[in-house]
Amino acid sequence: MAYELVTKQAFLNQLQGLSPKVTAQVMEKVRFLCDDPEPDGDVKKKLHDVQGNIYRLRSGEYRILYTYGKGQGWVMLLGVDNRKDVYDHIGNLVAEAPSFGFGQLPDVADLLAPGIPAADAVIHAAPASASTPLTRRIEPDLLEQLRVPDVFWPALLACVTDDDLCRADVPDAIRNAVFDNVTMPNIERTLAQPDLLVQEVNDLLRYKEGELLGFLLRLSPEQERFVTYALNASGPTLVKGGPGTGKSMVAIYRVRALLAALRKAGNAQPRILFTTYTNALVAYTRQLLQPLLHDDVDYVEVTTYDKIIRAIYTAAHHGEPVMAKAEEQKRALARAIETAVYDGNLLQQKAQQTAIERLGEAYLLEELDTVITARQLDSLDAYLATPRPGRRVALNTTQRMAVWTVYQGYCAQLAAMGKATWQQLRDQAERAVRAGAWADRYDAIIVDEAQDLDPSVLRLLIGLCREPNRFFLTADANQSIYGAGFTWSDVHADLKFKGRTGILRTNFRSTRQIGEAAASYLAGGELDTDDGPDDDATLTPQYIHEGPLPAVRTVSTGAEQCDLLARFLPDAARMFQLGRGSSAVLVPTTEAGRSIAGELTARGLKTSFMPSNALDLTSQDVKVLTLKSAKGLEFPIVALAGFLNSVYPRREAGIGDEEWEEILARERRTLYVGMTRAMRALLVCAPADGSSPLLTGFTAPTWNLGAMENS
């Protein structure tokens, strides 16, 4: 092919709906297009009634919609439809607001409409908004062409409106394929879809016939740059980027680049380790690596870093560890404080005892686990000398001496119980690798989403890598919601990243409005504000997608909150032609999640609370998750709710002002992570009584404040 072929999922969905005869004709035209996409005024023609450089190619009674990069060597397929359908709806190809009736829902209309938010929106019950009839009847022939399993036919054949299709209990991939064949084409929505790379035209036919499951994402020029960035440098490489910038996809393509580099260096059978932090992301990564690497996928081990750590610890200590539960850690701490014998004279001992009493239990546990153990501090002198980035409670020498005494007792208590913490496991595993007790090594290691790694884990992983220049990390410190926090300058110094730090700035996940609103909410609470030495600090984040302003609404009761959610979530799903399962409600506690799920189900919106160990992303229900379990996930429609009837976060007795500020900063980052899970629409439900110190800092014009502006 003279031109690189790229497709959108909408084209693939419409291709599946074509008859075999029409498909063969379209395939020939696509080959013709890849040789020369330039318009000729007849067969290939620019559409002047459409925003942007959109073209159509005639194929009998059908028209192929496409665009291409002049002088850039690529052609992008956008859609294929019957001539009548294309030209009947050509006006709707222009990007515009949804046409269905939000007018009956003044508050929900305000939540989802673009532009300046109204200041007089109020929450009240209202009838459902009007749905739009499908432009083409769903018939058995279409479902057969789309390879829809028979079990879903009754639900789909009964659909006559877009709302029916949103409600249908079918997988989202099937729903999307049907939507693209029975509704008006929408170029704005199509252009917002990810770019899929087609290796050869015949792969389109293989996809239609079910032989090819999918296509690889096409990287942007910015992402592509970092696939081979500093590949032959002398040390490790770090690529940073905010939510939705494609860090994980760059890491996946980096695997292929490393394989090629290792083979070029004479390594015929390289071993590469790809680590991430959850089993769900492990499975997802494996799925993406298979079509990228084919048989070479056997040279790549994909796993969580804690699984490796557990294996190393077990081998070094000749047995499986017994992990301490949270309550056991608290008991060990309480016993350590009770039996502590402090150094110095009576006055010094009393000062140390007072210092421990003034630190909250949770804060002290964090200090022991995430500062001392995680950073592998072996002595009081090392602890006295170490910086504590992210820890706002300053500890002087006397206070640190007290903490160190409690730490020694804490470790002794855990050992007497025969239990260990994860931080201790990681520390011991790293020491085993350093001492040569674990001989297994990798030719290259990729660490995805490294922002929550303990320093001990970073040292362990780089110790497992044969060459430091084959060590690659992606991270976003501002998504760090566990541990004590850190600044990237510390990590740079430890792993010598200077000169090999790159930054991804284009957000491919969320709309500009969501990204800017979340950033304004976090402003002042960032952990990472260093743009790095290799990039222009004046560059600002770039966004691919546009959408409605994220909205904040105050609610006074649980019923009021669920009434709003029960209207907002389905209307947003219809607006973006999505199933109800595309929506997620993120909550601070399990109790709040279960309550909201029950209330929404009672209102006719099928909803399930999903603990992190029982998350089912394929479910067609609205998903309710805790904020922390949503990390690493994404949903088109997100609502943050569940902050009523409980203070979040709760300030326990004895917590000082500096400790409280640190807790608020960490939990503010937690809410930021929750906000940035949203791809297209975001709603925050805040208590009207202002009881949460976190649900503040929402300002116009980045947030749609509605009635909050007058409250």
Tens-place pLDDT, residues 284-305: 788 788 888 989 999 999 999 9
> What's this model's pTM, rounded to 2 decimal places?
0.74
pLDDT, mean of residues 16-21: 92
> According to the model, what pLDDT value does residue 455 have?
86
Summarize pLDDT for 457-510 with one digit per residue, the tens.
988 998 999 998 899 999 875 544 444 445 545 544 456 666 788 889 898 889
The per-residue pLDDT for 608 is: 96
Bigger pLDDT: 652 vs 11: 11
- Retrieve residue 69's tokens: 């990069």
Bond from prior residue into 701 cis (ω within 30 degrees of 0): yes
pLDDT score recorded for residue 331: 96
pLDDT of 486:
52
- DSSP string covering 623-658, please? EEEETGGGTT--EEEEEE---TTS-SS---TT--HH
pLDDT tier for residue 50 given thresholds of 50, 70 and 90: low
Q: What is the pLDDT of residue 648?
A: 76
Q: How far apart are the first and last CA of the chain?
A: 61
pLDDT of residue 209: 87
**What is the CA angle 132-513-91, rounded to 5?**
35
pLDDT at res. 536: 41
Res. 281 pLDDT band, cuts 50 70 90 = confident
Model pLDDT, residue 649:
79
- Residue-level pLDDT at 487: 52
Q: DSSP secondary structure string, 503-570?
A: EE-EEEEEEHHHHHHHHHHHTT--S-----TTS-TT---EEEE--PPPEEEEESSHHHHHHHHHHHHH
Predicted confidence band of residue 117 (pLDDT cuts 50, 70, 90): very low
Question: Three-state SS for 56?
Answer: strand
What's the pLDDT at 130? 59
Residue 542 confidence class, pLDDT cut points 50, 70, 90: confident
pLDDT at 150: 95
Query: Which phi and psi (to 5°) does residue 400 adopt?
Result: -70, -35
What single-letter DSSP state applies at residue 405?
H
pLDDT of the residue at 47:
84
Strand order in the sheet with 607-609: 551-555, 678-687, 635-640, 583-587, 622-626, 607-609
The pLDDT assigned to 579 comes to 87
Q: Encoding tokens for residue 521?
A: 């909410």
DSSP characters over 169-194: -S-HHHHHHHHHHHS---HHHHHTSP
- Domains contained in the chain, CATH given: 4-89+187-217 (3.30.2310.20), 221-314+440-504 (3.40.50.300), 326-419 (no CATH), 544-710 (3.40.50.300)
- Distance, CA of 636 to CA of 582 (rounded, Å): 6
The model's confidence at residue 156, banded by pLDDT at 50, 70 and 90, is: very high
Strand pairing partners for 79? 65
266-281: burial string, b at 16+ Cβ within 10 Å, e else: eeeebbbbbbbbbeeb
Do residues 352 and 405 touch, judged by C-beta distance below 8 A?
yes
- The pLDDT assigned to 707 comes to 54
Select the more confidently predicted residue: 532 or 235.
235
**Once rounded to an integer, what is the mean pLDDT over residues 538-553?**
82
Rounded distance between C-alpha atoms, residue 12 and residue 80, angstroms: 9
Query: Binning pLDDT at 50, 70 and 90, where does residue 100 land?
Result: very low
pLDDT value at position 453?
A: 85
* Mean local confidence (pLDDT), 347-358: 92
- DSSP, collapsed to helix, strand or coil, labels residue 216 as strand
pLDDT, residue 661, reads: 83
Q: Is the pLDDT of residue 87 over 90?
A: no
- In tens, the pLDDT along 397-427 reads 999 999 999 999 999 999 999 999 999 999 9
Q: How confident is the model at residue 41 (pLDDT cuts 50, 70, 90)?
A: confident
For residue 125, what pLDDT is reported?
33
pLDDT confidence of residue 609: 96
**Local confidence band at 612 (pLDDT 50, 70, 90 cut-offs):** confident
Compute φ and ψ for 620, nearest 5 degrees: -90, 0
**Maximum mean pLDDT: which of 164-168, 299-303, 529-533, 624-628:** 299-303
Average pLDDT over residues 223-249: 89
348 or 71, which is more confident: 348
More confident residue, 367 or 88: 367
Q: What is the mean pLDDT of residues 164-175?
A: 90
Predicted local distance difference test score (pLDDT) of residue 675: 95
Instruction: Give the pLDDT of residue 57.
Output: 93
Q: What is the mean pLDDT of the chain?
A: 84
pLDDT top residue among 595 and 628: 595
Q: Give residue 341's pLDDT.
A: 95
272-276 and 237-241 beta bridge pairing:
unpaired
Confidence tier at 613 by pLDDT (50, 70, 90): confident
